[in-house]
A and B are shown apart, each in its own frame.
Chain A
Amino acid sequence: MLTRLDRKIIRVISQELPLEERPFKLLAAKIGIGEKMLLERVRFYKKNDILRKYAVALNHLKVGFRYNAMAAWNMPAKYVQEAGAIMASFPQVSHCYERKRGKDWNYNLYAMIHTRSKRGCLEAARAIAKKTDCKDYQLLFSTYEYKKSAAQL
């Protein structure tokens, strides 16, 4: 279980890593612990899959990945496991989840596709359709980004 101190650490390291020689020393001071202890906790979180990634978040539009589409699939339950693994194997797919179906929205498997061209999104979706042998899907292109931020933990 995570302690109150862990929660504090998690909140602080969810914020910017300082661009200074000893960034963890600065963050540790904010938390009120030593640099060594902070590094130990970070390694522990990583090892236990609590920390997913300690890395950059890019503005994908500004690095040329201008198209993103959410592909929603109506996948028979018995194929979900296999199809999810196939979707996950595509480098263009950043997120893939099985989700509850909606009342008038009969889709249960979702893949977020990021590409440099619109054609790239269409082709990735088509390739997935072929590999999973599932033609019942919708490709929802994002036409405006209202918000993209880190979760406030």
Chain B
Amino acid sequence: MNRLNALDKRILNRLQEDIEFVATPWKAMAGDLGIAEQLLLERIKALKKKGIIRRISATFNTLKIGFASTLVAVKAAPSKVDQVAQRINAYKEVTHNYKRNARYNLWFTLVAKDKHSISRIIKQIKQDQTIDQLLDLPATKLFKIDVKFPL
């Protein structure tokens, strides 16, 4: 784990909230934090370089912009799970893909422009001979999306 100093923690906590939708959002944020804009930008660049910050960007309610999504679970032979995961990763519609300690040992999420694309990709993945079984688990209700790591 990387050591974060007190300023970095404050910056990262602030960055986990919306930026201000103004012409000079970094200046506004630096003002909130009581530091100079240049220092803020330098720290953010350093945190990016260390891989602590993946990106700063807008994320959308995929349903509201007409996209479809689902969670898929796969039972893959333990000796083949890496290979299966790599093949699944190749789809740009796959956003997350994790190995998990369960009888369904590979779990991934799909976000695509419509339901039809989702079905097509699942059908293709199912043809993989090393996959025993596959579950398509689309969400029927959202209770929460709020990824936050208090530092």
Q: Which residues of A contact B (CB under 8 A)?
A: 2, 7, 10, 13-17, 19, 21-25, 35, 39, 42-43, 45-46, 48-66, 70, 80, 84-85, 87-88, 91, 93-100, 102-105, 110, 114, 138, 140-153
A interface, by DSSP: helix, strand, loop or mixed?
mixed
Q: Is the CB of B149 within 8 A of A17?
A: no
Q: Which residues of B contact A (CB under 8 A)?
A: 1-2, 4, 12, 15-19, 21-27, 37, 41, 44-45, 50-62, 64-67, 69, 71, 73, 85-86, 88-89, 92-102, 104, 107-108, 111, 133, 135-151
Extra contacts, 11 of them, besides A16-B56, A50-B61, A56-B12 (Cβ < 8 A), are A16-B57, A21-B24, A50-B64, A56-B54, A84-B141, A88-B144, A97-B143, A99-B137, A140-B107, A147-B95, A150-B55
CA distance A64 to B142 in the complex (A): 27
Q: How far is the CB of B102 from chain A (nearest CB, A)?
A: 5
Q: Is the CB of B145 within 8 A of A50?
A: no
Q: How far is the CB of A2 from chain B (nearest CB, A)?
A: 6
CA distance A16 to B48 in the complex (A): 11
CA distance A91 to B2 in the complex (A): 23
Which A residue sits closest to B45, measured CB to CB?
A: A19
Contacts of B4 in A (CB 8 A): 63
Contacts of A88 in B (CB 8 A): 143-144
Contacts of A49 in B (CB 8 A): 61, 64
CA distance A21 to B96 in the complex (A): 32
B interface, by DSSP: helix, strand, loop or mixed?
mixed
Contacts of A15 in B (CB 8 A): 55, 57
Q: Is the CB of B15 within 8 A of A55?
A: yes
Which A residue sits closest to B96, measured CB to CB?
A: A148
Q: Is the CB of B98 within 8 A of A144?
A: yes
Contacts of B60 in A (CB 8 A): 10, 14, 45, 50-52, 151, 153
Cross-chain pairs A/B with CB under 8 angstroms, 27 sampled: A13-B57, A14-B59, A15-B55, A17-B25, A17-B57, A22-B24, A52-B61, A53-B59, A56-B15, A58-B53, A62-B50, A63-B1, A64-B1, A64-B151, A80-B141, A91-B150, A94-B144, A96-B144, A97-B139, A99-B71, A99-B138, A100-B140, A144-B98, A146-B98, A147-B94, A151-B111, A152-B93
Of all A-B residue pairs in the complex, the 5 with the closest CB atoms, nearest first, are A88-B144, A84-B143, A56-B15, A102-B135, A96-B143
